[in-house]
Amino acid sequence: MQHALRQAIRRTGQHSPMNTRRDFSTWLSVLVLVVASSGTTLAQVDDDVPQPEAPTTVEPAPTPPPTAQPTRETVCDDGIDNDGDGLTDCADADCFDTPVCEVHGPERNDERCSDWIDNDGDGLIDCDDSDCQADPVTVCRGSAQDFQSRQVQADDTARDLPRLTGDMTAEDLIGNFGDNHGERDDYTCSDGIDNDGDGRIDCQDFGCRFDPQVTVCNQSPGYRFGVVAGVGFSYDFQENRSIRTAADVNFTRLQLRALGPIPYLDNSFFLLNFRAERSFRMTFAHFQVPLGKSGHFVAINSGSGTLSNQLIISVAKQPLLDPAFYLVNAFEQGNGAVAEVGGPLVASNRVAFRVFAGGGAGFSTGNVGGRFFRNENENFTWVAGAQFQFNVIGHFSRFDSPLMYTPMPLGLGFWAGAKYDQRATERYPAGNASLWFRTGWISLRAETYAKYVLDFGGSFQMAWNAQLSVLLWPKRLFFAADVGQFTAQEYSALPAEFDQRPTIIRDELRIRAALHFWWFRNIGLLTLMFDEGRLQDDGRFDTNDRIRRVRLEAQYRF
């Protein structure tokens, strides 16, 4: 081939005009030879490169014959759709009557909010149930809520929530798993400090997060609105009916509350309390803002409960339905407004203080703005005093609820305070002391109040009350009873006209006992109470000197 190529090239060099056609044929022959030569050369080059072996065809393994799919859900707790109908375990009608899919109790944890069972029998399953939408349940959170939850956990130092199993609910975390059980009211849950020293502040604390009586830490941010409604039947065993009928049924209480943070003020708090049984009226108003970051505060309120907490505890938190009237009536006579400053005296909050001062005019009717004057008595009224709190074991607040729903941890605390009160017709110094002891299923509270009236010849007056609560069946049944007394020395220099004299309160001995049944978590409460008392007969009142009545009352609190 190479020799022929050279001969053809040589011939093309010998051309003339006469041989043009022949030269074209010659060049065409050369081109064909060049292409053939190139192809031969490339083939020789390709032969020098190792060529891949031809792929070997692998025969596929024989497919086993298909297994027949079950026609029913064969296992009701394996998380598998056994019969392929799109329904798994207890969501499949095949499992409805099996023991594993029966109602088991409250739907308040991740396990029961993802088992396809209507555990509490309310017709709603898992995440359709509102109980599964609140902490500590996490399986029903959407992506936005889950992201927010992760952000909160990243920003604070609170420990992760323990996993709840079986019959455990969120309330079982209170006082356990490192919680000191010292923050369980709207005040201590919004003051910006760790009141009970367990490492959790305000709404991070289990008591603030999971006690339904705390409203400032609800999942819905901003302002809150609460209602306490009570309907009761009462029967008076005494024969004299000059004041009350023998039997009655009515709305015994209708309390409305609005509360929440003050805008743009961290750790601030406000509360407006209304009563609407007979007429719509505001009975208590409170506005509180922090002083620095150490837990101190300044507050302005309507003046009730300067030393005793009987008048500032909600009617929803009274274990004997009403406060002990004889303990406060002669001592907490109301003011137009009171300012107070308080906070911890030591870093551990074992010792705290509050000082207060307030004023007004005339006689208080117990309502905000409720004032009246008699016999043109427009004397200015004012009060000033201080109170100290000592947390010996555990941590307490004067706003804590005496109601018992779950067992309480060991705790011992007491309060002591004094004030000077200038009323419309009398002046008196007064002192108050109270004690709270709790352990497990038992709670004991005791309080005493005393004053000395400087006018009308002087009179020493004193009242005391002791209250016992016993949790008979957690989350279902508890018993409460109290006994108390009011005594007063007679005035030696009273004015001739009765209207010029101070309010006369008769000596009284009172005992009450109540059995409470939680018919719906700690929102619905049914109470049967017996009330008996003996009053001093001073000849001026057309009333019995004895009280004996029974009350049956149903409450709903939210």
pLDDT tens per residue across span 434-480: 999 999 999 999 999 999 999 888 999 999 999 999 999 999 999 99
Cα distance between residue 43 and residue 32, in whole Å: 17
User: Which pLDDT band holds residue 313 (cuts at 50, 70, 90)?
Assistant: confident
Mean pLDDT across the stretch 133-153?
A: 53
Weakest mean pLDDT among 262-271, 372-381, 460-469: 372-381
Let me know: does 554 contact 232? Beta carbons within 8 Å: yes
At residue 40, the pLDDT reads 41
At residue 13, the pLDDT reads 45
Q: Identify the helix (H) or strand (E) that includes residue 8.
A: helix 2-12
Stated pTM of the model: 0.71
Per-residue b/e over 194-222, b at no fewer than 16 CB within 10 Å? bbbbbebbbbbbbbbbbbebbbbbeeeee
Domain boundaries defined on the chain: 103-168, 188-557
Q: Which of 367, 311, 373, 313 is nearest to 336 (CA)?
A: 367
At residue 441, the pLDDT reads 94
User: Which pLDDT band holds residue 60 (cuts at 50, 70, 90)?
Assistant: low
User: Which pLDDT band holds residue 99 (cuts at 50, 70, 90)?
Assistant: confident
How is domain 188-557 classified at the architecture level of CATH?
A: Beta Barrel (2.40)
Give the three-state DSSP class for 257: strand
Please determine, for residue 247, whether its predicted confidence score (pLDDT) is greater than 50. yes
Judged on CB neighbours under 10 Å (0-12, 13-18, 19+), 184 is: buried
At residue 511, the pLDDT reads 97
